[in-house]
Amino acid sequence: MVRGSRFPNGDKVLLADVDEGDALQLSSFLELNGFTVRRGADIHEAMEHFINFQPGVVIVDANLPAKSWLELIQSIRRYEEDRDSDYRSIIMVTSSRYTAELSQKALRAGAHEIVGKPVDQQGMLRKITEHAAVY
């Protein structure tokens, strides 16, 4: 089980995902492994959770409507820069729509890495643990 004291921003994960089923499955798995998870179903809810919850890791699903995922990543980075706050790790999750162009946009906007769907839960747990320990 993951312990929050190992991570600079605790054991908090923000999951920005419109798919309730996918979000519930991943958040339940992460919670069973010691993380506290908040879900934002749209960009506004996700930013509100980001500001109030202060997660160490943010998981952004590319299926957020109308490139909201890009706006969310950019908003998070602006918020951090404006407040000179800790730099959170952002993991982008994408389905079969994955393209090199999407990956480049996400990385330029501030994502740390791209993960494909379906999400391998054990692999995601390893990535979150690594990122939470660093950022």
Domains of the chain: 4-134 (3.40.50.2300)
| 76-133: pLDDT as tens digits | 999 999 988 777 889 988 875 667 888 888 899 999 988 888 888 899 998 888 877 6
Distances from the Cα of 36 to the Cαs of 32, 63, 132, in angstroms? 9, 23, 12
What is the spatial distance between Cα 95 and Cα 121, in angstroms, rounded to a whole number?
A: 15
Within 10 A of 70 (CB to CB), how many other CB atoms are there? 21
pTM over 0.75: yes
When the pLDDT of each residue in the chain is averaged and rounded to a whole number, the result is 85
- Output the CA torsion sign for 85, 87, 33, 129: negative
Q: Which pLDDT belongs to residue 1?
A: 40
